[in-house]
Structure 1
Amino acid sequence: AGIRARVALAMCLRGDADSAVDRLALAIITRRELAAKWVNTAATGALPERRLAGRLLERAAREAARRATGGDSHPLRIFQVVIDPQQFAEPPRPDGFSTIGPAWRTLLADRETLVWRQVAVARGLLCGVIPQFVEQIQAMLQPTLSPTEWRRGATSLAARIAVDRASGLQDALALLEGPLVRRDPGIALALTWGLTPVAEVEPEAAEELVEAIASISPISIADSLVELRTDVAGFGGQAAKLCAEALRNSLVRPELDDGLSALARSILEDLESGGETRELSRAVRAGLEAFGDRSTQDAYGLASQALAIASQQIGELEGLDVGYDDEPGAGEARRGAMKLLREIDTSLLESRLLNNLLLLGRPPGSTETGVDAIDDLDSRVARWLLDARRRSATPEEVKAQATLHQRQLRALLHLIDAGSTDFGDDHERRMRVRGRWVLAARVWGAWVHEQPKSRLTRAIIATVARAFDALVRDAAAEPLDIFLYAASSFSDPAHIGIVAEASMHPDVEQLLARYLTFVHSDSSGDHAQKARNGIEAFARFLDDFPSEATMRSEAFRTTAWSLLHALEAVMGAGSLRALVPQQGSAGGVTPLGVIEDAIGQLEQLIVGAQRRCNDQITGHQATLPPSRALAHAVENAVNTESQSDLLEAVTATARAADTALPEPIAKLITQTLPRLATLQLDRPSIPPSALAPQPATLPDWLPPRRILGGFYVLKQLSHGNVGTVFVVTRAEERHNDDADQFALKVPEYNATAARTMSESEFLKLFREEAGALLAIPEHANIANFVTFDAGAKPKPILVMELIEGVSSERVIYSQSFDMALALHVIDGVAAGLEAMHERGIAHLDVKPSNVIMRRKSGDSVLVDFGLSGRHLRPGCATLLYGAPEVWEAAPGDVPQGQATAADVYSLGCFVYEVMTARTLFDGNSDVAIISSHISHDGLPPGVDRLAQTPALQPLAMYLYQCLRNNPSDRASVTSLRRDWRKLSEELTQQAWPLRLD
Structure 2
Amino acid sequence: MSPAEALIALTRLTDANERRASWRQAVAALGQSVRVTGPPPLDGIAPERLVLAVRHALEQGLADDLDWIAPSSAVVALYELTIALPAGAERRDLGRRVFSRLYEGTASTFAAVAARMALGSGKPLEAATMRARVGLVLDLPVGTSVDADALAYSLVARRELAERWVVRPSVGALPARRLAAKLLEHAAREAVQRAQLGDTLPRDLLAGEIVRPVRKQLLDDREPLVWRHAAVARGLLASVDPRLQEQIELSLDENLSPTEWRRAAVSLVASMAGNPSAATKACNRLLNSAVTKRDPGIFATMVWGLPRVVEVEPDAAEELLDRLSATRRPDVAEAVAMLLSDLVHGTFGQRAATLLRAILASKLDTETPALRGITHRALMILDRDRDHEDRLEERVRQALVAYETTGARAAHELATEAMGRAHATMERIAALSAHDEETLPELVEHLSDVDMAVLERSRLSDLLLLGRRPGDADASVAELEQLQDRLGDWLLDAEQASLSAPWTRTGSVANSRRLRALLHLVDVETTKSEAEATSSRVRARLRRAMQVLLERLAAGPDASVHRILCATLARTFDAAVREGVAEPADVLLLVAAHLTDRQSVATISEASTHLEVQGTVAAYAAFVDVQGFAMPDSLAEGSYDTGSLRREDAADVARRVLRLSRGLAAGGTHRAEALRMAVLRLGRGLEAVAAARGMMDLVSDSASEQSALSDLETAADSLRQLASSVLRRVLDAEPDESIVVSTDVAALSSLVERAVSAGVPPNPRQVSMAIAELTAELPEPIARAASAVLTRLDGLPIEAASDVQAIPLERRRAALPDWLLPRRTIGAFYVVRALGSGGGSSVFVARRLEERHDPNAEAFALKVPQYDPTTARSLSEQEFMQLFREEATALLALPPHENLARFVTFDLAARPKPILVMELIRGSALDRLIRSQSLTTERAFRYLDGILAGLSAMHEAGVGHLDVKPSNVILRDGDMPVLVDFGLSGRQLRPGCGTVEYCAPEVLGVEPEDHVPTPWAADVYSFAAMAFEVLTADLLFDGADEMAMATLHVAHDGWPEKLAALARAPGLGDLGVVLAACLRHDPRNRADVARLRPALASVGQNLAGRPWPLGAGEATDKSA
After TM superposition, give the deviation of residue 17 of structure 1 in Å: 8.3
**Shift in CA distance, 614/458, structure 1 to aligned 2, threshold 3 Å:** farther
Q: Which SS does the other structure have where 1:386 is aligned? A: helix
- In the TM superposition, residue 382 of structure 1 has moved relative to its aligned partner by 1.0
Residue aligning to 1:529: 648
Matched, 1:206 2:325: no
Aligned to 1:510: 615
| Paired letter, 1:181 | T
Equivalent in 546, 552, 555 of residue 665 of structure 2: 546
Match of 1:66 among 193, 197, 206: 193
State the shift of 1:591 in Å.
Answer: 1.8
1:698-737 alignment, distance < 5 Å: 716=836
Residue aligned with 2:190, SS: helix
Amino acid at match of 2:159: R
Q: 1:557 aligns to what?
A: 676
What is the rounded CA distance, in whole Å, between the counterparts of 1:685 and 1:169 in structure 2? 74
2:400–2:463 CA contact under 8 A, matched in 1: yes
8 Å CA contact retained: 1:623, 1:655: no
1:147 equivalent among 252, 258, 263 = 258
Q: Report the counterpart of residue 776 of structure 1 in structure 2.
A: none
Which residue, out of 173, 179, 184, partners 1:52? Answer: 179
Q: Aligned-residue CA RMSD in angstroms?
A: 4.1
Q: Does 1:266 align with 2:377?
A: yes
The Cα of 1:485 is off from its aligned counterpart by 1.8
1:374 to 2:501 alignment: no
Contact map agreement 2:174 2:524 (CA 8 A) in 1 = yes
- Alpha-carbon offset, residue 509 of structure 1: 1.8
Name the residue aligned to 1:861.
Answer: 1043
- Structure 1 residues 601 and 138: CA distance shift in structure 2, 3 A: same
User: Is contact 1:117–1:193 with CA below 8 Å preserved after alignment?
Assistant: yes
CA contact (8 A) 1:589 1:697 kept: no
Secondary structure, in 3 states, of the residue corresponding to 1:536?
helix
- How high is the sequence identity, in percent, across the aligned residues? 32
Change (3 A) 1:539 1:164: same
Q: Structure 2: 5+ residue runs without aligned partners?
A: 1-127, 630-643, 825-832, 845-862, 886-960, 965-980, 999-1003, 1008-1034, 1047-1120
Does 1:248 find its partner at 2:361?
A: yes
State whether residues 534 and 668 of structure 1, in contact with CA within 8 Å, keep that contact through their aligned partners in structure 2. Answer: yes
Aligned to 1:989: none
Contact 2:195-2:240 within 8 A present in 1 as well = yes
1:317 is matched with which residue: 425, 429, 454? 429
Match of 2:789 in 1: 672
Instruction: Determine if the alignment matches structure 1 residue 423 to structure 2 residue 423.
Output: no
Q: Give the distance between the partners of 1:176 and 1:854, measured in 2 at CA.
A: 83
Q: Distance in 2 between matches of 1:165 and 1:367?
A: 45
Distance in 2 (CA, whole Å) between partners of 1:42 and 1:614 is: 27
Post-superposition Cα deviations, 1:616-665, rounded to whole Å, max 9, x if no partner, equal 24446554443972333333344455666x54553233223443222332
Inter-CA distance 615–465: structure 2 relative to 1 (3 Å threshold): farther
Q: 8 Å contact 2:373–2:444 — kept in the other structure?
A: yes
Whether the 8 Å contact between 1:578 and 1:691 is mirrored in structure 2 is no
Q: Partner of 2:15 in structure 1?
A: none
1:764 aligns to 2:868 (yes or no): no
Q: 1:625 to 1:258 in 2, by over 3 A?
A: same
Match of 2:576 among 462, 467, 471: 471
Instruction: Please tell me whether the aligned partners of residues 137 and 146 of structure 2 are also in contact (alpha carbons under 8 angstroms).
Output: no
Identify which of 629, 635, 645 aligns with 2:747.
629
Question: Structure 2: how far apart are the matches of 1:664 and 1:442?
Answer: 20
| Inter-partner Cα distance in structure 2 for 1:526 and 1:800 | 48
Corresponding letter in the other structure for 2:484: D
Answer yes or no: is the 8 Å Cα contact 2:567–2:608 preserved in 1.
yes
- Contact 2:679-2:715 within 8 A present in 1 as well: yes
Contact (CA 8 Å) 2:341, 2:381: kept in 1 or not? no
User: CA 1:553/1:862 → structure 2, altered by over 3 Å: closer, same or farther?
Assistant: farther
Structure 1 gap segments, 5+ residues each: 82-97, 325-329, 705-712, 728-743, 754-760, 772-783, 806-831, 836-852, 865-997
Task: Please identify, of 435-444 and 289-298, the stretch whose mean Cα deviation from structure 2 is larger.
Answer: 289-298
Q: Match of 1:103, as an amino acid?
A: V
Shift of 1:33: 1.3
Q: In the alignment, what sits opposite 1:164?
A: 275
Q: Out of 19, 23, 35, which is 2:162 matched to?
A: 35
- d(CA) in 1 for partners of 2:442 and 2:807? 76
- Matched to 2:609, the amino acid is M
CA deviation after TM superposition for structure 1 residue 64, in Å: 0.9
Aligned to 2:152: 25
| Cα 1:588/1:789, change in 2 over 3 Å | closer
Matched to 2:165, the amino acid is W
Counterpart position of 2:112: none
Q: Is the 8 A contact 2:396 2:453 kept in 1?
A: yes
Residues 38 and 608 of structure 1: is their aligned pair in 2 closer, same or farther, counting only changes over 3 Å? farther
Contact 1:334 1:404 in 2 (8 A): yes
Distance, in Å, in 2 between the alignment partners of 1:606 and 1:854 is: 33
The equivalences for 1:902-917 within 5 A come to none
- Whole-angstrom distance in 1 between the partners of 2:200 and 2:351: 39
Asked if structure 2 preserves the Cα contact closer than 8 Å seen for 1:124 and 1:156, the reply is yes
1:595 maps to 712
CA offset digits 1:848-873 (Å, max 9, x no partner): xxxxx998554652899xxxxxxxxx
Residues 321/549 of structure 1: CA separation in 2 closer, same or farther (3 Å cut): closer
Aligned 8 A contact 1:698 1:715 in 2: no
TM-score, structure 1 as length reference: 0.68
Cα-to-partner distance string for 1:721-770 (whole Å, 9 max, x where unaligned): xx76789xxxxxxxxxxxxxxxx9943599xx9xxxxxxx9953544799
Aligned with residue 455 of structure 1, among 560, 568, 578:
560
Asked if structure 1 preserves the Cα contact closer than 8 Å seen for 2:645 and 2:788, the reply is: no
**Which range is displaced more, 526-535 or 516-525?**
516-525
Are the counterparts in 1 of residues 661 and 680 from structure 2 also a CA contact under 8 Å?
A: yes
What whole-Å deviation, never above 9, does each CA across 1:257-286 have from its counterpart, x for those lacking one? 211012111211221146714432222122
SS at match of 1:716: strand
2-structure distance, mates of 1:56, 1:545: 33
Note the 1:325-474 alignment, pairs <5 A: 330-331=437-438, 333-388=439-494, 391-392=497-498, 397-424=503-530, 426-474=531-579
**Contact between 2:566 and 2:604, CA under 8 Å: does it hold in 1?**
yes
TM-superposed deviation, 1:594: 1.2
- Distance in 2 (alpha carbons) for counterparts of 1:691 and 1:73: 58
Q: How far apart are 1:405 and its partner, in Å?
A: 1.4
Report the equivalent of 1:118.
Answer: 229
Structure 2 letter corresponding to 1:77: D
CA distance in 2, matches of 1:370, 1:717: 54
Cα distance in structure 1, aligned partners of 2:669 and 2:217: 25
- Which structure 2 residues correspond to residues 882-893 of structure 1 after superposition, within 5 A? none
Paired position in structure 2 for 1:133: 244
Between the two proteins, the alignment pairs up a number of residues equal to 744
Q: Which amino acid is 1:591 matched to?
A: A
Larger Rg: 2
Residues 391-428 of structure 1: CA deviation (Å, up to 9, x unaligned)? 3377863423332111111101000111121211x122
- Evaluate the alpha carbon distance shift between residue 564 and residue 48 of structure 1 in structure 2; reply closer, same or farther with a 3 A threshold: same
Change (3 A) 1:694 1:462: closer
How far is 1:125 from its partner?
1.6
- CA change 1:321–1:765 in 2 (3 A) is same
Q: 1:749 to 1:20 in 2, by over 3 A?
A: farther
* Cα deviation code 1:872-930 (max 9, x no counterpart): xxxxxxxxxxxxxxxxxxxxxxxxxxxxxxxxxxxxxxxxxxxxxxxxxxxxxxxxxxx
> SS at the partner of 2:210?
coil
Separation in structure 1 between the aligned mates of residue 336 and residue 807 of structure 2, nearest angstrom: 74
Q: What does residue range 892-907 of structure 1 map to in structure 2 within 5 Å?
A: none
Q: 1:178 to 1:550 in 2, by over 3 A?
A: same
* Mapped contact 2:997–2:1045 kept (Cα < 8 A): no
Q: Describe the shift of the 1:714–1:532 C-alpha distance in structure 2 as closer, same or farther (beyond 3 A).
A: closer
